[in-house]
Structure 1
Amino acid sequence: MSLIMSYVGSNGCVIAGDKRRIGFLGDKEKREKLEEDLYSGIIKTDEELIKRAGALQISLKITDDAEKVRVIDDNVVVGEVAFKTPFEARRKRIYAATNGYIIVELIGSNIDKMQDGDSSIIVFGNKITKKMANEHLQKHWKSKINLKDVAEIFKKVMEEVASKTPSVGKKYDIFIKHSNLDKKESQRILREAVVVDVKKLQEWRENLKKEQMEVSKTIEFASKIINEGEIGKVKSIDGNKLKIILNKDIQAFDVEWNLVAEPGNLIEMNIDDPSTVEVGDMAVIENENLCIRRTKSTLQCEVILCKADK
């Protein structure tokens, strides 16, 4: 769902990228049929795409706020297209500066392939968008051209391609960078930028993985939280503090889901009026209220009470 165009010359570089993303929800075979129609050029407008998706019973989520091109320092611009395989996300990036570029292909956050060059026009996109873009670039290109001219041509090409296929949106970003770099210095700066940028991606993916694991863990443990039933008996009373011995099917966790008490262990609870509790009383949850069964006196604790694994 992308069109990214980059120009690398001796006086600077220009990069442009559309902002469209399309999500397909529905039967796998029907999704693939819709994508085939879209990328072949049969579908030419947003309206035709929505109509065809409806006929195939596919739900669409179309947005035009993706950041596919960006500036990462005073000299380097980056463009990225991404797609998913059944096993892993793949990315293809171009890092461009004056007198140089590096194309990097990543599997997950690991570099799979790299190639470099010193001057070129490079187009990323699906089959139909690349074909259209190259045709329009040839039509508008001039023999003598400056960076401002290149930017204007890229704008025209973006608009022309967006008018013929909904796989490219009408919104786009474009950046121009002027800098005095020779070919050797350009490659040095680009390689440093790649290393830093890929490291950030690796850190982002690690953090995302941890967040997903935490969400999964929370969902798993949330299903075990007690909202009704016996918790355990009062073992001792010390002012407002009670020691409760947990039943054989109850365990306790802290807010980060670390186990703090197993069945049969003691946990501490607080009670406002200790005169309403006796040793041997049963602590229960009734109507989602933690209390002493005999007197209905409310209890407070700083742990999460859950069913123990069998």
Structure 2
Amino acid sequence: MSLIIAYVGKKGCVMAGDKRKIGYFGDKENLEILEKELYDGTISNDDDFDKRAGELGISIKITDDANKLKIVGNTVRGEVSNKGTFETKRKRIYGTTNGYQILELLGSDTVSRKAGEKGIIIFGNKFAKQKAETLIGRKWKPSQSLRYMGETFAQVIEEIASKTPTVGKYTDILIQEPKYDKMQAQSHLNITIDHDIKVLIKFRQDLTEQIVQQNLEIEMVNKIIDKGDIGRVVAIDGNMLQVQLNDKTQAMDGNWKQLAGPGQNVLMFTESDNVKVGDKVVIENEDLCLKKDKSSLTCDIILCSL
């Protein structure tokens, strides 16, 4: 669901890309029918797309704010992606003066990687690519400046956007023009891409850790005790009480790390002067208190079931 057009040559690199992003959900077989009609040009505008998706029972969401181009080092990077159930497929082009490399990634693993020195490279579905090649052939002038090339590519994208909902009319244009010969270009690309992949790996690792932490938090929140026995008082020092947890209770900190397990002691506070060793501690109506007279207790821990 993208169209990216790049020129790489001795002048430098210029890329133009649309900003459309489409998310959809529904029956797999009907989704395949919808995609086929999108990619062969049968569906020609957003209204028809929305109508056809409704006929097939597919929910769609269209946005035009995706950033598919980025400056990385002295290169321009363009990326199209397809998010699957378990992994995201990415296709990237990195371009600079006198050189480019194209990568296909599954998650953060490189599936293929190839290099070139110059040319016009187009990322997009078959219908959009064919239209782009035809329009560029009509408009192309090798003597154009990089800025003018970028504007020409943007015009091509906008024209194609009027013929297919897979491409959006809003575009970004990025240019890089360092002084590299062919060998320097590939050397710089190798260094830049290797570092960029490491950044992607780190991002995915951080994202995985966040998901694990979120799942842990959801699990622990569901274990917070809002009713029932907690333990019993085993020591008293002024307004401070040592409470021994029962065999079904644990104490956690704010990061969901266990501070005390069943049978271990935790610190609680009271304003009552009628506390005795052996008194039972409970939670009633979500309030922590002594069972015998409902005297309130406080603590700086989270009480959870096992």
Match in the other structure for 2:115: 116
Match in the other structure for 1:8: 8
Match in the other structure for 1:71: 71
Q: Which runs of structure 2 are paired with 1:1-310 in the superposition (5 Å)?
A: 1-73=1-73, 75-271=74-270, 273-308=271-306
How well do the aligned residues superpose, as a CA RMSD in angstroms? Answer: 1.5
- State the 1:39 CA deviation: 1.6
Q: Any idea what SS the aligned residue of 2:189 has?
A: helix
- State the 1:250 CA deviation: 1.1
Q: Is the 8 A contact 2:246 2:263 kept in 1?
A: yes
1:19-44 superposed Cα distances (whole Å, 9 cap, x missing partner): 11111122232222222221221111
Q: Which runs of 5+ in 2 are unaligned?
A: none
Q: What is the alpha-carbon distance in structure 1 between the residues aligned to residue 180 and residue 69 of structure 2?
A: 21
Q: Is the 8 A contact 1:239 1:274 kept in 2?
A: no
Greater mean deviation of Cα atoms: 196-205 or 299-308:
299-308
Q: Is the 8 A contact 1:277 1:295 kept in 2?
A: no
1:245-286 superposed Cα distances (whole Å, 9 cap, x missing partner): 111111122222222222111111122x14042222221111
Taking structure 1 as the reference length, the TM-score comes to 0.94
- Identity among equivalent positions (%) equals 47
Q: Is the 8 A contact 1:276 1:295 kept in 2?
A: no
Greater mean deviation of Cα atoms: 110-119 or 202-211:
110-119
Q: Is the 8 A contact 1:231 1:250 kept in 2?
A: yes
Q: Which amino acid aligns with 1:260?
A: L
Q: Which amino acid aligns with 1:181?
A: Y
- State the 1:129 CA deviation: 1.6
Equivalent residue pairs, number: 306
- State the 1:293 CA deviation: 2.0
Taking structure 2 as the reference length, the TM-score comes to 0.95
- State the 1:87 CA deviation: 4.4
Q: Any idea what SS the aligned residue of 1:67 has?
A: coil
Q: What is the alpha-carbon distance in structure 1 between the residues aligned to residue 188 and residue 169 of structure 2?
A: 32
